[in-house]
Amino acid sequence: MIVSELFWNAALDDLKQGYLQEPEDYVCLLCGKKVERGIVYQEDGVFYEAARYMRLHIEQAHGSVFEYLCNLDKKITGLTDHQKTLLGYFYSRKTDPEIQKEMGIKSASTIRNHRFSLKEKERQSKVFLVMMELLKEKSQPETFLTPPKTARMVDDRYKVTQTENDKILHKLFPEGLEGHLETFSVKEKYKLIVLQQIAKRFQANNVYTEKDINQILKNVYPDFATLRRYLIEYGFLQRTPDGSRYWLNQDFDEKGDKTMDRKQELKRLYKETKTEAGVYQIRNLENQKVYIESTLNLKTINGKRFNLDTGTFPNQALQKEWKEFGEKAFAIEVLEILEIPEEGYFDVKDALKKLKEKWLNKLQPYGERGYNSHKPLARDVKL
């Protein structure tokens, strides 16, 4: 299972809920799916606001954030299969006697010892995280500021550290960054730092007259004409040939650029992690009994092993034989992937329901032949 950079860069609270709140969308950290904010979504006749719909997506596609995390590779979680199984039992709120019975553990004190060990692991993780954060702060090398995209030639003038940049601005703007400029230095390094700071006083996508520009710059420095000329010369501002209209160079609007890059990254991530709906079976290799089910995301079917291992699978007949025969006696297999047209409206839920009914009618997984509890209503389903 591939974990995206979006997942690793997310804050702890975002990871716990499973999605990230962007300015325009909610983004699933588990698969990259986006849900546009401000839109009301309909699902099975029920209307959901965007955040609730994203939580519904996580429930349907991934089971839960906890289940998704438990199914991650040991190299990522640092947990053994035994520890994952125990955590699954704890998460499902099973009592110690119930866990003892499910796992065939003779002594109740063993469960308590496991709880204590996991608690110790939690404490150790907290200490380690704090140590790593302190290490980053202590050992982080001094970084140089990134030259603006408007720079026509990047040379030694741009070798300015954040500390040096802040020191120069504090010196030249003694009243604060929104205050007056004390002096306009002829030193190239100082000039670039000052111009880059002044350019932040202009709004992206706004069009200014020369009078507007002059008024803004007068509040910065008396010689506003010099500032205006250098802002144009260094590419921070652009203007029409007749000088009647001015605007902020979009390449300097770093926030906008980052937002666009972010959108492109999310589109790429979603495309790479695109899910497939379909029908699958859990087959008992000993007696060939099968359980048929459908899912909106076939990538999650191996997560059913987790449910079965922890005794939380909803089908009791299958759960009972899983415990009796053991995990190795079962295979989880995809029967058919739902074909979804690229264009036009398509009711995935209804099509998936029909696809499941097709396989139920074909394999008849009832009674001695399977674990499904009841037959579907009689209907003409093409096999």
Structure confidence by residue, pLDDT tens digits, 133-185: 888 777 655 555 555 555 544 555 556 777 888 888 988 998 889 899 999 88
Report residue 4 CA to chain centroid gap.
8
The predicted-structure confidence for 261-302, as pLDDT tens digits, reads as follows: 444 544 554 555 557 889 999 999 999 999 999 998 887 887
Structure tokens at 329: 């006696």
Distance, CA of 250 to CA of 248 (rounded, Å): 6
Dist. CA 209–CA 247, nearest whole Å: 9
Residue (of 60, 58, 38) closest to 48 by Cα position:
38
The CATH architecture annotation of domain 275-369 reads: 3-Layer(aba) Sandwich (3.40)
| Percent above pLDDT 70 for the chain | 84
Name the pairing type of β-strands 25-28 and 19-21. Answer: antiparallel
pLDDT in tens, 205-221: 788 999 999 999 999 99
Task: Specify the pLDDT at position 217.
Answer: 94
The phi, psi pair for 27, rounded to 5°, reads: -120, 125
Supply the pTM of this predicted model.
0.45
Q: Where are the domains of the chain?
A: 5-138, 156-254, 275-369
66 three-state secondary structure: helix
More confident residue, 253 or 334: 334
SS3 79: coil
Q: Say which amino acid occupies 107.
A: S
Q: What is the pLDDT of residue 94?
A: 87
Tell me the C-alpha distance between 310 and 194, whole Å: 62
Local confidence band at 252 (pLDDT 50, 70, 90 cut-offs): low
**Distance of alpha carbon 192 from alpha carbon 187, whole angstroms:** 9
Q: How many CB atoms lie within 10 A of CB 182?
A: 12
Q: Quick one: CA dihedral 35, 36, 38, 40, positive or negative?
A: negative
User: Could you tell me the fold of the domain covering 156-254?
Assistant: Arc Repressor Mutant, subunit A (1.10.10)
